[in-house]
Amino acid sequence: MSKMEKPVINATVGLYPLIAVDPINSCCSKKFERPEWDITYSKIRQMIPRLRKFTDEYRKLGGQIIWIRATPWTEEFLPANINRLYHENPHATFYTQKNVKKSVDFYNGISVRARDRVFTKNTYSAFADPRLQKFIKQQGADTILISGVFAEGCVNATIVDGFTRGLFMIILSDLVETMDDKQQQAHKKHLITHQWPLMYGHVMTSNEFLKKLAQ
């Protein structure tokens, strides 16, 4: 058995804040897919009911839910470095071009409740909103649960940024998704099996987490 095939040993769990990155229309809805670029979201849409079920159950246990959404992904709102990338490399350009206002609404099925918190970012990491880390400190948390989309994009950026700021990560692997493209799916698998558990924290499914929490 290889090192990565072994279960997580001595994983400490608690009622940590859950961050859900970008379950918004531009990252989930069929209306915002770009099939001509191999950008489709069916696997993300299959994940959303699992995320909703977990957040409903986690609230009942007293867990704090933190929803992250982006500003409109347009030149007006994005920082200079992303705009420079898009201007200088047309292949990297990913501006939202239609239904801009609706693009940042939470996807159908995502319901923000009274105790939940919502933070907004204009780049990849959720910590671009300085209020997020302040809120986590107010919660007295040194660990956060991670879920959302896209695994190799804003989820990964949030994991790296949060860990760099001193936070420990528990990534809920069944609540992290990305585009349907085979290369993107392979990238997600590598993050889950290699990069994240070796560099930033523990990786487990939401059910595994809840079982450990109940012990």
DSSP sequence for 6-54: SPP-S----SPPEEEE--BHHHH-GGG-BGGGTB--HHHHHHHHHHHHH
Question: What is the four-CA torsion angle of 120, 124, 129, 133, rounded to 10 degrees?
Answer: 120
Q: Is the pLDDT of residue 6 over 90?
A: no
* Mean pLDDT across the chain: 94
Going by their DSSP bridges, the two strands 168-177 and 143-149 should be labelled as parallel
Cβ contacts of 125 within 8 Å, gap of 6 or more:
154, 157, 158, 160, 161, 162
Cβ contacts of 115 within 8 Å, gap of 6 or more:
59, 64, 65
Amino acid in the structure at residue 178? T
SS3 127: helix
Confidence tier at 12 by pLDDT (50, 70, 90): confident
4, 194 Cβ separation under 8 angstroms: yes
pLDDT of amino acid 1: 40
pLDDT of amino acid 10: 77
pLDDT of amino acid 180: 98
How do residues 35-54 score in pLDDT, each as one tens digit? 998 999 999 999 999 999 99
**What is the CA 4 to chain-centroid distance, rounded?**
23
What would the two tokens of residue 29 be? 């809805």
Q: Is the pLDDT of residue 123 over 50?
A: yes
Domain ranges of the chain: 3-209
Confidence tier at 190 by pLDDT (50, 70, 90): very high
Q: Which helix (H) or strand (E) holds 201?
A: strand 201-204
Nearest residue to 117 (alpha-carbon basis) of 51, 158, 64: 64
What would the two tokens of residue 107 be? 């996807």
Looking at the DSSP bridge assignments, the partners of residue 39 are 34
pLDDT of amino acid 68: 98
> Does domain 3-209 bear CATH number 3.40.50.850?
yes
Count of residues in the chain? 215
Helices (H) and strands (E) in the chain, counts: 9, 6
How do residues 143-171 score in pLDDT, each as one tens digit? 999 999 999 999 999 999 999 999 999 99
pLDDT of amino acid 166: 97
The residue with tokens 């993107």 is 184
